[in-house]
Amino acid sequence: MTRDGVAAVAALLRRGDAVVLSGAGISTESGIPDYRGPAAAGRERRPITYQEFVRSERARQRYWARSFAGWPFMAARRPNAGHRAVAALEAAGLVSGVVTQNVDGLHQEAGSREVVELHGSLREVRCLSCGTVEARASLQERLAASNQGFLEAAPRYAPDGDADVPEDVVAAFRVAPCAVCGGVLKPQVVFFGENVPRPTYEAARGMVDAARSLLVVGSSLAVRSGYRFVLQAKEAGKPVAVLNDGPTRADGEADLKVEGRLGELLPTLAALAAA
């Protein structure tokens, strides 16, 4: 039944000009945990909000201490078979682009060329005062220089690069300012309580508008910033296919739904679609 379902999705993709909407589930097989999938059961965590980060120096200290501990883990992640399959579908001319809710950059590393990062990227930080952008790897070096002997590894990680750090260690952490103006640095990601930048949203909406179909992979679509593209596709009369390891918010709208591990489903899909 699963293979029949994948074959039906492959037939849809052979029409060409499909857009992939991806979520954290495609990166779990690269070792990055997700927020709502089966592997997240029992894991309690409240991500920082934009309002907390902007208003509270203490909140920023906590964020950067945990991010500093988690960055080596995130920087070491590599694309898996699912990412490579999506890139292969684009190279074959069957997928026109990717709208991703992920901030890990693994689609691009796998070879996908047309990627809209809906929630930004962990690989850059931006000054909230002067707008200077700095590579996250560069900031990590500056943080390390200011926090000699800091705990550099933690046992639990999250999709945004956050890691568990004892509160007494957080309290001693020194946050690095903007190297140009001394202002507050924020990762180039959309925090909870923050809106997706308008140009990013319009780029994603335009990509879906130009597509013939939408393929959702690895997302529960619990967050409306992703789910609205399913609604956009359906309102335009475009077919929607969903591949995910578990239920999604769009199960009622999907024309096709296949459940299973994306590291197995997507390579099979790419092989069948290109046949």
CB 37 within 8 A of CB 28: yes
Q: What is the pLDDT of residue 167?
A: 79
> Does domain 1-32+78-119+190-275 fall into CATH 3.40.47.10?
no
> Catalytic residue at 83?
no
Distance of CA 197 to the CA centre of its chain: 15
Percent of the chain surpassing pLDDT 90: 81
For the chain, where do the domains classified as CATH 3.40.50.1220 start and end?
A: 1-32+78-119+190-275
H or E element that contains 5: helix 2-13
Q: What is the pLDDT of residue 41?
A: 43
Q: Looking at the predicted structure, is the pLDDT value of residue 153 above 60?
A: no
Q: Where are the alpha helices (DSSP H) in 48-160?
A: 50-55, 57-75, 81-91, 106-110, 136-146
More confident residue, 73 or 46: 73
pLDDT band for position 27 (50/70/90)?
very high
Q: Looking at the predicted structure, is the pLDDT value of residue 45 above 70?
A: no
Q: What is the mean pLDDT of the chain?
A: 91
Q: Which residue is catalytic, options 36, 60, 83, 119? A: 119
Tokens read off for 115: 């990627």
Q: What is the pLDDT of residue 42?
A: 44
Angle at the Cα of 161 (from 155 to 164), degrees rounded to 5? 35
Burial of 39 (0-12, 13-18, 19+ CB in 10 A): middle
For residue 263, which phi and psi values (nearest 5 degrees)?
-65, -20
> Which residue do the tokens 């359906």 mark?
234
Q: pLDDT by residue (tens digit) across 68-85?
A: 988 999 999 999 999 999
The predicted model scores a pTM of 0.89
Return the bridge partners of 157, or none.
Answer: 163
